[in-house]
Each structure stands twice: as C-alpha cells, then as structure tokens.
Amino acid sequence: MSVHGQAVAGSGGIVCGAIQKLDSQDQIIPEYGISKAQHTAEKKRFVDAITQASRHIQKEMDALREHPQAKVLLPILETHLMMLSDPELRESTQRYIEEKSINVEWALKRCMADFVQAFADMDDVYLKSRKADIEQVGKRILHELTDKTNIKGSVPAIIVAQDFSPSDIVSLWRMGAIGFVAAQGGKEGHALIVARGLGLTGLIGAQGLFAQASDGDELILDAEHLCWTLRPSQQERDDFKKKQAQLAAEQDALKAFAHTPSRSKDGYALPLLANIEFIEEIDIALEYGVDGIGLFRTEFLFMQSDTLPSEDEQTAYYQAIVQRVGNLPVTFRLLDVGADKLAYAQLLFDDYDGENPALGLRGVRMLLHKPKLLRTQLRAILRSSPSEQVSILVPMVTSVSEMQAVRTVVEEIQAELKINHAVSLGCMIEVPSAALIAHDLANVSDFFSIGSNDLVQYTLAVDRADEHVSYLYDANHPAVRQLIQMAVDAAQARHIPITICGELAADTTWTQTFLDMRISALSMTSRNILHVRKRLQELQAKTSIIS
C-alpha cells in the first residue's frame, strides 16, 4: 500500500526512482553487482583507496606536529593509520567482493558493519570504545572510493537522509542521483539553493519518509507540489508520467525566452544575472542566455581540498571561469564560509572556537582576521582577468571601516601587479546594520548587492534552514521591504549600481516592485532566469523609463 507525505520546500521537478537511505553520518555509497571479470579491478580500487587514506592521515599528522595544542590528536591518528594496515580489513573486504560479486564500496560497508558489531559485543570497556575508530577508518576509505565513482544500478537513485550540506548536493549530482529528500531543513537553506542551480529535484523538511522507507523502495518525488509517494500504485505511476510530461512541455515553452532581451514591455533594461556555485553551472547559465554572473561563490574551491588552495591554484580556477563566460561580466564574492563546519575546521581550528559561526567570525570579519588568506584570494582574482570584466564583492559587511580595509589591500595589490584599470569593489547588504548605514557605505563602495536570503534571515532572526521556524521566513515583512528601500535610495543617491541577489530576485511576484524601484540587475539561480525574463517582458514600469 502506498504512503504519502508533504515537505516544507523543494527544488523543482518530478522524478521516480529507487530509494537509497543514508544515516545521519553516512556517506553516499553506491551498491551494485559486478561480474567475476571485475573482481580484480575492484580489489585494486580498494588497495589504492587504503594507500590514499594513509597518505592523507600522514599529512594531517605532519600538520598537527606544528601546533602544540593539537598534538593530543596524534595518538588517535596513529591508531587509524595502524587500523588501515590491518590485513584482516583487507582480506575480509576482498572476500565479500569474491563471494558476493559486489562493488568494493558495498563490500567495505558490509565488512565494517561486521567489525563494528564485533567491537560492540566485547566485554572490555576499552576495546568497546574503539568502535568509533573503526567507523572513522571505514569512512576515510569510503571517502577515497566514493569521490571517484558514480551511483550505479538498474533503477535511478533518490537519496534519502536526515539532512544534506551544499557539498553533499554537488556530490549527489555528480554521482548521478536523480533526486534527494531531506527530513530536516527550511525554505531557503543553502543546500536547496545549490540544488535549484543544478536542476537536481529534491524535497526539504519531508517528515516521516525516512522512518517508513527501506533501501530499494520505489518513490515518486514531486517537488513541484512539495509531496512524495512511497511504494506507488499503478494508477499513481500513470499519474506521475502525465505530470512529468506536462512539466516537460512547460519547460520547453520557456526555452523561447532564452537569449531574448531582459527588458520590460516598455523597454526598461533589467539584466538577469546568475548565481554560481561551481564552474559546471556556467554552461547551464549560458544556455539560458544569462546577462552575466552576478555572484560566483568561491567557497566550493576551498571545500574541495584538505589544504588551502594556493594563489596559483586559485588564479587558474578563476581564469577558467572568466574564459568560460566569454565577454560577460563576472562578480567574485570573497570567501564566506558561513556556518559550514568543515570549512571552519579547515581554516580556523588553530585559533577559533566560536559556537555560533553564523554570528561569529565569517565573511569579511574572518578575512581581515586572516590577512594572508585575504591577500592571496585578492591577488588570484585580480590576476584572473586583464580587464574590468571582473568585480569583487565583500560579504557580511557591517561597517565602513571593513570596506576601507579591503580596498586598501586591493590598491596595494594593484600597485604590486601593475594593474592600471579600475577595480570595482562592491558591498553586500545582507545584515540590517549595513542597510541602516547604506548612505555611508555607498561612499566607499562601487556597487551594492543585496543578499536577500541572509537579509531576511538576520532581520527576522529566523534560521532559514530550520523547518520549525520556516513559516516566519517572510521576505514580504515590512521591515525587510524598508531595509531594501533604504539600500536602494542610498545607491541611487550616490549613482552606484544596486543588484538584488538571491531567491527574492527569482520571485516573480517581486519583479514589478524591482522594476519600479529601478533596480540595476537581478541575480538568481540560473534555472529561474527564463521564468523571470518571461514575467519581465509582460510588465511595464509604473513610471516610464526607457533605456
């Protein structure tokens, strides 16, 4: 019998596939059968993954020796290194590959489950406590394996978990999942924003599914109507196919607006820009005829590595982005790790232990606290383009002095690199204090970008990723509207451009308002470009503004 449920928010689309469940700390583990001819290759993959995991642990140990306060972690890593070399681990996993003809990830998962259970059953308290170490070692090996594979199987996979990070969403997309469902999360969480940019269908805040579903169960995931159907009947499958066909027809009709002018009916130009997380998204944006990249989040480059990317590595990455977009303008936002714990552990574990990174050392605060990090990123961005095509956006600004400090570094680097063209430095208006002093910030900024997602969150004291208070996340709140208007007034008084950035820019119920405010541009997830362009071409500004 089928089971139905609702969700808080979604990343559009309608898909049907087989469920693969992840526990709260599990990695995405593909499970599929292999032929006998593939046994040797799978065993080699396992040996290579152990070698790589050992190298990474050794690098971590070398780094820790330079920090006296962190040396207490060395014995733990030494234990993990020893466990990786245990012949029983290798032999047991390879036995599963041989006897069950399954892929190495699945074999390792089953082997680790055996080991964990064996330790849990021991009477000795100390040995019982080593269960956590065994789990960590298994995850290290799986990380090496799953970073280099795809989700496989005869039926498309829908991944179901308690929660997903933005990097999890990217991994799902790259590994071939057709959808995801998270039990936790709110309407404007970062993971959901990334999914929308990729076009990966998903639901957030879907209570009840995780407990009722089993691996392999069929699931219809309808993110257009924020609902799901577990173990659907034949009639429900037929209805799904009709809905999917109707949605495909609607999306085909929208393609007529690709590469058409981003102008209102009465001729007001309102450029539609793309918010980009990683380089592959650029092709999606170009397909829709985007007018530029209004926000390139640089965090993902940092999160992909165990070490901070060098200046040359960053330069090559930014150059690749600039070359990919052709002659279109690109705005790089400086590093803003936000509340991402992995990024904080990587960048700040030596001298920062703030309990609430959303209100702590993030954005420009962290960059000024880590001047070498700031200088390296600015040099890389300025080296990425020989023209004025590239702009720089400063996140989480709350004072004039922060903008002045960043501009001082920019000017120093310009002199070092002998850059003669003007460098456009913008201020993100995403906290109430920035909007309240917008007239002062306009005097030290070349442009404004209103980060609507965070502005709503910080103005209303609502965690946008928390499903329990998501009903309070309301961009139409009078306080939010007033702060937006203050920033617009300040920018226009100083004659600097102002862009609306984030999910609000993609909300077509606001397009008329932005048109009447004479906003300079809207920057949004790429897949919303055509919807907004269609709406824009239907509207007229209340006061005629021909450009």
Which residues belong to the active site? Answer: 190, 501
Tell me the CA distances in angstroms from 235 to 2, 76, 231, one per residue in order: 11, 55, 12
Listed in sequence order, the residues at least 6 apart from 472 whose beta carbon sits closer than 8 Å to its beta carbon are 460, 462
CA separation for the pair 418, 422 (Å, rounded): 12
**CA-wise closest residue to 38 among 103, 107, 93, 90:** 103
Asked if residue 357 lies in contact with residue 339, where contact means CB atoms within 8 angstroms, the answer is: yes
Identify the three-state secondary structure at position 298: coil
Under 8 Å between Cβ of 465 and 189:
yes
Phi and psi of 24, rounded to 5°?
A: -55, -30
Contact 357, 392 (CB under 8 A): no
CB neighbours (10 Å) of residue 227? 16
Degrees, nearest 5: CA angle 481-542-291: 75
Burial group, residue 406, by CB count within 10 angstroms (0-12, 13-18, 19+): buried
Burial of 195 (0-12, 13-18, 19+ CB in 10 A): buried
